[in-house]
Amino acid sequence: MKFTQYYLDCLSQASYLVGDETTGRAVVVDPRRDTDEYVRDAEAAGLKIELIIETHFHADFLSGHLELAEATGAQIGFSSVAETEFESRKLADGERISLGDVQLQILHTPGHTPESISIVVWEHADDEIPYGVLTGDTLFIGDVGRPDLLSSIGFSKEDLANQLYDSLHNKLLPLPDATRVYPAHGAGSACGKNLSTDTWSTMGEQRLNNYALLAPDKATFVDLVTEGQPPAPGYFLYNAGLNRKDRDLLDETAQPRSLDLGEFQALTSGGALVIDGRTPEDFALGHLAGSINVGLNGRYAEFAGSVVPTDVDIVLVVEDGFELEAKNRLARIGFDRVLGYLKEPLKVMASNPDLVRRASRMTASEFEQRRGDIDGLQLVDVRNPGEVALGTIQGATAIPVGQLPGRLDELDPKAPTIVFCAGGYRSSVGASVLREAGFGDVSDIIGGYSAWSDLVAAPV
């Protein structure tokens, strides 16, 4: 058996290639949208990808089933209860798929979504213990799939949580302890609240250590998994809808268009939004007025999708050589309206200082020294509720960074404002959102709450 896990750190997303080397037949599960790596690896191993299986309609990324089907001629498979605009194979509960000696079994495991499935993998057809189970977003390492993402479109989170409990206890927990568990996401994903940094485990380890599986009864389980979930980024429903549709395909090799300053300004004057992918440090030293800072060195697509509307044109500012990466990472969440990138941005800014703004940042020490002298200070904590519950800076208004664009009316644009997060990445995103919205005096704290809490806890 050929079994490969592909883990994409910037989205905490896992996909899989499973093949039988004796027959050359293979499937790919939950592919990302830039699919060349799967095709190359399959060809190198002498495998032909015949089927693409999606464990559900993903919300946190735009799946690559259409791109991979176009490249390989493979069928696309979803749960038999899923409806797609494109042609897809309906996979029944309990259905066996033979790749040769390697065998797959489809298990319907609704709960995270109604159409969620898991896939049991046997290395040999006569093995008593499965090699593993691909659990999608039903079972994570240390957590289970959140049941609340569809509540805004009419699905009760309690009903889905009840289904999730039944799926776990009737379909997955009966699997032997030695069965490996391979989920679709890991730590950092907003698809759960307690995901481990481990990318795989075993059923036995999860039976012993997963807080949700240790719930003594269904009512306790429902309470546990419906409370305290992180805010879902704004693009989630957009992606869940797109993953059902017959949409345009991504050409991951196509460079975005190079723009001179005149072309760039014409697009921004027409409503295009500027996403500056440089580090918070470089952004603070100088950026084009009106830019949103989402650094490529972090969870770029996720936070861009959290603060940028799904229906706007985008122009990029990035370091030379990173234009294609920025375009493709946005494409992974279906943000295809990238009109181009500013050519040689540092030279442009050096030659046009009137277009450049600096971003105020302060160390935790500077903040602590100056906070008492700032009249009408507005302090904004852009971390998630679970982080805030563990401690915050007194007097801060808590608004997760992804909710800032929709909650601007809770803040005073004329007040001196200081934004902080855990370490300084999200605060730069949030501060740039506020500046772009017209807030006049905005700073953020370098090192964030972590630096501040270390400072105030330090012995005098």
Neighbour-count burial for 305-317, b at 16+ CB within 10 Å, e otherwise: bbbbebeeebbbb
How far is residue 92's CA from residue 419's CA, in Å, rounded to a whole number? 50
Q: What pLDDT score does 227 carry?
A: 87
Quick check: 460 pLDDT over 80? no
Q: Is residue 75 part of a domain?
A: yes
Express each pLDDT in 429-442 by its tens digit.
999 999 999 999 99
Instruction: Establish if 251 belongs to a structural domain.
Output: no
- Domain of 71? 2-242
Would you call 454 exposed, middle or buried from its count of C-beta atoms within 10 A (0-12, 13-18, 19+)?
Answer: exposed
Sign, CA torsion 182/184/189/191:
negative
Q: Which residues contact 71 (CB under 8 A, 6 or more apart)?
A: 35, 36, 39
193 Cβ contact partners less than 8 Å away, ≥ 6 residues apart: 143, 146, 228, 229, 230, 386
Average pLDDT over residues 188-210: 90
Q: What's the mean per-residue pLDDT of the chain?
A: 96
pLDDT at 314 over 80: yes
What CATH number did the domain enclosing 34 receive?
3.60.15.10
> Are both 6 and 75 inside the same structural domain?
yes
Sorted by sequence, the CB contacts under 8 Å of residue 306 that are 6+ apart come out as 233, 234, 235, 401, 402
Say what the pLDDT of residue 230 is: 78
Please give the single-letter amino acid code of residue 414.
K
Give the number of domains in the chain: 3
Question: Quick check: helix, strand or coil at residue 21?
Answer: coil
Alpha helices by DSSP H, listed for 371-419, are 385-389
Q: What is the mean pLDDT of residues 249-273?
A: 97
Residues 421 and 450 in one domain: yes
d(CA 143, CA 213): 8
Q: How far apart are CA 85 and CA 237, in angstroms?
A: 17
Both 115 and 139 in a single domain? yes
> Model-level pTM?
0.94
In this structure, the answer to whether residues 216 and 269 fall within a common structural domain is no
pLDDT digits (tens, 9 = 90+) for 395-411: 999 999 999 999 999 99
Domain-ending residue, one of 336, 357, 378: 357
Residue of 109, 120, 99 lying closest to 2 (CA atoms): 99
- Whole-angstrom Cα distance, residue 25 to residue 102? 9
What kind and span of H or E run contains 345?
A: helix 345-351
